[in-house]
Structure 1
Amino acid sequence: MNNAIRHTWLVSVGLFVVLFAALSLIQVALTEELNSHPNNVRQVYQDRGAPRGAITVDGTAIAESVPSEGTNFDYQRVYHDPFLYSGITGFYSIAAESTGLENSMNDYLTGQSDSQFFDRITSLFTGETLEGAQVELTLDPELQQLAYDTIPDGTRGSIIVSEVGTGEIKAMASKPSYDTNLLAVHSTTQFQENIDALSEEDGLSAYRFRPVYDTIAPGSTFKLIDLVAMLDSGDFDADTVMDNPSEIELPQSNRTLSNFFGGICDQQSEADLHFITAQSCNTPFAETAMDMGQEPIREAAEAFGWNQSIDFPLTVSPSQFPEVGSDAELAYASIGQASVTSTPLQMNMVAMAIANGGTLMQPTLIESVRAADLQVIERSEPEVFGEPISEDVAEELTELMQGPVESGTAWRGQSDRFDIAAKTGTAQIGDDSNLVHSWITGFAPADDPQYAVTVVYERIDYDYGSSLTAPNMRTMLEAVIEE
């Protein structure tokens, strides 16, 4: 009798082990294969209608999943203040691949990250619905609202505000924008109708967030990179006097390059680097670039992030400083034209590094990730991206960058609360429209930098763009820096 009981017990244990092994194999080893199988319609409905974790700003959800009624899906993704955050959150849809943080933070939002393994095991045995993690952003909601409101309707504008000592993004707004709820629908037909309607708006794409996607000519803001190469060489300082002709003929070319016609640069045929930077004179930078060659400038640019991909965790289009084929092309590249391009975020990173004494912090949008019970899974810590310049060069650049605001091209950005360091830029588009890209990037307070701001207007009238960039920068800096 005891043997029969023993055998029965051993068989029961063996069957339990086999069952557990099979269950583990299905739930762990084969999960991805089974979930992705095209005939697994049940899994599609489960995934698309699952309760994704919320994306929050200052503790308030800007994207969350709510119970859905009258559909085959249990939950509906809902976005709050979507025009402010559409490019950052992106959208989650059953009809297309998700974008923005909905894509890059998907493993956390669905509960599938490595750090949520035990949550998955627990839900497997309890039968409870697996809830995704909450992603808290570094954004300041009031600053984000101000940045969005500061950009005039009808323009293609971007504003970025970052904390120079941590790399945290405090505001990142862009226009035109759109309502992400239009693309979170459960009908593929409705999705296509809505995405087609959005694509008809001039300058708008639901798949492109200007601050991190658009790589455009940076114009004279790129002269900050020239200055880095020049100061690093040891042959230049702020008091160095240089030739400043109104126009130069470019070698092996029938092209010329000139200073701004009728501008203050024409008042001095020779000038020191203070004046040249403040007034953004083109010809001294172009001649110096041709004398130095392209390598020092490319090395300086790449130290800040050019020619490489960056994730924070949105994927950033690589800014480009490609090989140039002639001195004429190099001359134009040195003033942020020709084949040189930059995202607004990349130029903000330049300002951040200079403001932070030469140390460039990794930009980040993520403050923390919390499980459904609000227990912290991950918390972002400041991380160094690189050391593109020395502290001495950063100090010299800060001194030079105060000139444009005090008496130069960024004079509209003057504040009565603190000194601002900045560099403006105007990039010719090269078509028949006479429109330009209008830039400014800078930081404050100049004597104790805390925040960097970059403002960009694409394809805008020169006078209108110039009237917006510096005042916008001042507005954001005065809002973020406490009295």
Structure 2
Amino acid sequence: MNAPIRRLGLVVAAMFCALLVATTVIQFVQARSLDDRPGNRRTLLASYSKERGSILVGGSAAAVSTKTDDQYKWLRTYPHKSLYADVTGYFSFTYGSTGIERSEGDFLNGSSDKLFYRRLTDIVTGQSAQGASVQLTINAKAQEAARKALGNQKGAVVALDPKTGAILAMVTSPSYDPNKLSSHNLDQVQQSFTQLSKDPDQPLLNRTINGNLYPPGSTFKLVTAAAALESGSYQTGSTLPGPAKLRLPGTDSYLPNDFPGNCGANDKVSLKRALTISCNTAFASLGMKLGQDELRSMATKFGFGKSLSVPMPVTPSVFPNDLNKPQLAQSAIGQYDVRATPLQIAMVSAAIANGGKEMTPYLVQSVRDKNLDVIQSTDAKEFANPISDGTAKDLTNMMESVVSEGTGTNAAIPGIKVAGKTGTAEHGAGRNADVWFTGFAPADNPKVAVAVLVENGGTAGQEASGGLVAAPIAKQVMEAVIGK
């Protein structure tokens, strides 16, 4: 064989080898990522060819698939419209999926490896393939109460079972109707999505766990108080400076209280009283005394800066680094660059309610196949243990005082001990304050911990405070859980 033919043979052999390698890589290495590409129409049509599993709240379907006569065969519908949208997300042919629809997609569409043998059984028996159903932890009454109480105000509500971490309510406002994005009329879907995505109020954003984080305001005083009590240098009766305004070190600026005057006689106030009336100057002084390392350490113990999935990913909350004294004073009262999700603030209250043990939040209680056999279930798991039982008891006592005689009286429930903390957070010129309430009930046997955020003062505008606007919302959610 002459040299040119030999070289040509080698080139052809190399091309065949390259083709074989490329085919192998595509079919075995890249197959899953190619299937998961949003624009893969064949994969999308295949996912519509079998019944997608339901998403359940109690005994009711929050998301269910119904048979159709068009090319998609199954239509995803949301019977409660916007009520559970922040939890379920949407399942759209054009725009993919979000929320539980996305995070539990492998179970819902039946492709999970844990369903492999069930798929084989369906093939052998000739039964139609069907995805698994996902049972959520959401308490329907709490969810409805949160949605109704928040109303048209922009904000978020999240409630937890402090003993397990189960998420009992997850609501943001404004929200949206997922049916408009799951429709088989793709032109209407595109029109709806464009309208929603361009809306400056961001109805597609789950404010409880994602998006632009919020300054927590005076709800962060719980973290500062926890750091003080855990240090061993302070008790609930310890005396703190509480003037009407506090000069920030090295500046000509003053940090005032949210109310006229000082926090106590002779500009002195106890730690408990300071939390009860939400004394800014006392907690700013306390933060500077403790130091930024102590505050940051306690914030981190509660979960600030840590990644979390519920199973949707949660944006980590933030306590800033490299603070000077004035910045530290502001950070100690939840201002400056401190930022948090409503879920994180609910977790702080839940940890206090649970004797210092902070449980991992979760939304999925169990996953069942079409025969209702449990494939997977979630067990309560400890996330952190930021404070001692003694500190938790002290903080509970202080928070009860907030509701019984302080800034949070609008969260009081007759015949029930309620622990709480209000917050009013400034976040820029030209805007009203964001207002907060976080707490738990019953304080002596906690069944629910809650965080409420209302943006830009809600309906109260410039007159807004956490006690006026957010506390009544929290009250209704807690009442729904404990059955009052």
Length-normalised TM-score, structure 1: 0.89
Structure 1 equivalent of residue 309 of structure 2: 311
1:41, CA displacement in angstroms? 4.7
Decide which of 432, 437, 441 is 1:440's aligned counterpart: 437
Report runs of 4+ in structure 1 exceeding 4 Å deviation.
25-31, 36-41, 124-128
CA–CA separation in structure 1 for the residues paired with 2:41 and 2:160: 44
Give, as a single letter, the amino acid of the residue that structure 2 aligns with 1:277: L
1:353, CA displacement in angstroms? 0.4
Structure 2 equivalent of residue 111 of structure 1: 110
Bigger mean CA offset, 236-245 vs 139-148: 139-148
CA–CA separation in structure 2 for the residues paired with 1:125 and 1:164: 46
1:202, CA displacement in angstroms? 4.6
Bigger mean CA offset, 189-198 vs 417-426: 189-198
Answer yes or no: is the 8 Å Cα contact 1:246–1:266 preserved in 2: no
CA–CA separation in structure 1 for the residues paired with 2:310 and 2:399: 27
Structure 2 equivalent of residue 131 of structure 1: 130
Structure 2 equivalent of residue 391 of structure 1: 389
Change (3 A) 1:268 1:163: farther
Answer yes or no: is the 8 Å Cα contact 2:423–2:435 preserved in 1: yes
Structure 2 equivalent of residue 56 of structure 1: 56
CA–CA separation in structure 1 for the residues paired with 2:38 and 2:409: 61
Structure 2 equivalent of residue 156 of structure 1: 154
> What 5-or-longer segments of structure 2 have no aligned partner?
1-24
CA–CA separation in structure 1 for the residues paired with 2:150 and 2:33: 46
Change (3 A) 1:99 1:30: closer
State the percentage of identical aligned residues.
36
1:243, CA displacement in angstroms? 1.1
CA–CA separation in structure 2 for the residues paired with 1:209 and 1:40: 27
CA–CA separation in structure 1 for the residues paired with 2:59 and 2:262: 50
Decide which of 333, 337, 340 is 2:338's aligned counterpart: 340
Matches within 5 A, 1:159-198: 159-198=157-196
1:209, CA displacement in angstroms? 0.7
1:216, CA displacement in angstroms? 0.3
Decide which of 450, 453, 464 is 1:453's aligned counterpart: 450
Answer yes or no: is the 8 Å Cα contact 1:324–1:330 preserved in 2: no
CA–CA separation in structure 1 for the residues paired with 2:68 and 2:93: 14
Give, as a single letter, the amino acid of the residue that structure 2 aligns with 1:436: A
Answer yes or no: is the 8 Å Cα contact 1:222–1:334 preserved in 2: yes
Answer yes or no: is the 8 Å Cα contact 2:292–2:323 preserved in 1: no
CA–CA separation in structure 2 for the residues paired with 1:399 and 1:91: 42
Change (3 A) 1:205 1:475: closer
1:400-448 deviations in Å (ceiling 9; x for gaps): 1112112111122222211211111000021213x01100100112222
Give, as a single letter, the amino acid of the residue that structure 2 aligns with 1:197: Q
Work out whether 1:327 is the aligned partner of 2:325: yes
Structure 2 equivalent of residue 421 of structure 1: 419
Answer yes or no: is the 8 Å Cα contact 2:173–2:203 preserved in 1: no
CA–CA separation in structure 2 for the residues paired with 1:322 and 1:212: 19
Structure 2 equivalent of residue 32 of structure 1: 32
1:478, CA displacement in angstroms? 2.3
1:6-36 deviations in Å (ceiling 9; x for gaps): xxxxxxxxxxxxxxxxxxx999888636745
Answer yes or no: is the 8 Å Cα contact 1:55–1:134 preserved in 2: yes
Change (3 A) 1:442 1:69: same
Matches within 5 A, 1:84-483: 84-126=83-125, 128-153=127-152, 155-206=153-204, 208-214=205-211, 215-262=213-260, 265=263, 269-433=267-431, 435-460=432-457, 461-465=461-465, 466-482=467-483
Give, as a single letter, the amino acid of the residue that structure 1 aligns with 2:85: S
1:308, CA displacement in angstroms? 1.5
Answer yes or no: is the 8 Å Cα contact 1:438–1:462 preserved in 2: no
Answer yes or no: is the 8 Å Cα contact 2:142–2:478 preserved in 1: no
Answer yes or no: is the 8 Å Cα contact 2:244–2:260 preserved in 1: no
Change (3 A) 1:479 1:264: farther
RMSD of aligned C-alpha atoms?
A: 2.3
The secondary structure found in structure 1 opposite 2:75 is strand
CA–CA separation in structure 2 for the residues paired with 1:418 and 1:35: 53
